[in-house]
A = this chain, B = another copy of it.
């Protein structure tokens, strides 16, 4: 595992942070979160292409820049810090890994360049109304007819599901779990935006009635690619979360330094100081876990599944605890709509649950734990 970022990685982060501070300022976040889409095609295409964000972790053979999980995680962390309103997580952390792990060579060549270029927004629809995250209770069905496949059923909790151009859908094809690609505007596909706790990342519920679909890779063999995809998504989400947690921590730190009560900055009260120290500890631990998991994934470490769950659970608990503390340190103002803290609080709450809550991932982590591999 890699325990420090290279100078190049550090510089990339710095550039990206400044860029997003400018382009995803909270005024912009508030503007976009109030829209139904949650992001704007033109604005996102421009922002994405300027920094090459979706291209970053797609192999060069498929039109990408060929960077690895560590660089991808840096983008996620900075996106989490800036609360970037964009279909970046759905496209690069859910759809792309699914295509890379499940798709045929031809499919990768067909699908990925447009994603890398920022022309196609994609997502993964693998969860249904029962909210089971691993696809094991999938009821959506795929039927073959005249050499083509069509899908029926319902998918829910689909990130950016109502706005994606391309949707990777998990369905049961009789012989086992299979992944399919479906066009966002396909006939028979009804997409309904869901009202979410987190207004900065939109979810949708999809109803599929005889929707034309193309199998992604081999029919009935989606279990392994799906699991790998979800591990990678969990790691990337963990990195996004620690970015958000760090931002909350810094903002709260800044607030207590400025806020005067009883004739002194509240930062001078020991209770506040100790709370800030604990918050720093928490966030640094979660960062270490998120970084370690990303580095392990980049290395193809055998312990990646366990570390993915560890990092997801750790980051989720920390993000939520940090959000709670950040509001508390702001006092009443932190509970107001006009203060920005709640935007990250709500992302923290949604991220806690997204892809499975900490309790779920702690259990998974232990099932997957190989003591000898744990560094």
Contact = CB atoms under 8 A, between A and B. Distances in A.
Contacts of A270: 269-271
Interface in A296-353: none
A272 to B, nearest CB: 9
A274 interface: yes
A103 to B, nearest CB: 46
A270 B271 CA distance: 6
Contacts of A274: 271
Q: What is the interface residue range for chain A against chain B?
A: under 10
A331 to B, nearest CB: 16
Main secondary structure of the interface of A (DSSP, over half): helix
Contacts of A271: 270-271, 274
A358 to B, nearest CB: 18
A269 B269 CA distance: 9
A235 B274 CA distance: 37
Interface string A254-274: 000000000000000111001
A274 B270 CA distance: 10
Nearest to A271: B270
5 contacts: A269-B270, A270-B270, A270-B271, A271-B271, A271-B274
Interface in A237-286: 269-271, 274
Nearest to A272: B270
A274 B271 CA distance: 7
A124 to B, nearest CB: 36
A270 B269 CA distance: 7
Nearest to A274: B271
Q: 5 closest Cβ contacts across the A-B interface?
A: A270-B270, A270-B271, A271-B274, A269-B270, A271-B271
Contacts of A269: 270
Interface string A96-130: 00000000000000000000000000000000000
A270 B270 CA distance: 6
A120 B271 CA distance: 54
A274 B275 CA distance: 12
A22 to B, nearest CB: 39
A82 to B, nearest CB: 34
A274 to B, nearest CB: 5
A120 to B, nearest CB: 49
A363 to B, nearest CB: 16
A274 B269 CA distance: 12
A271 B273 CA distance: 9
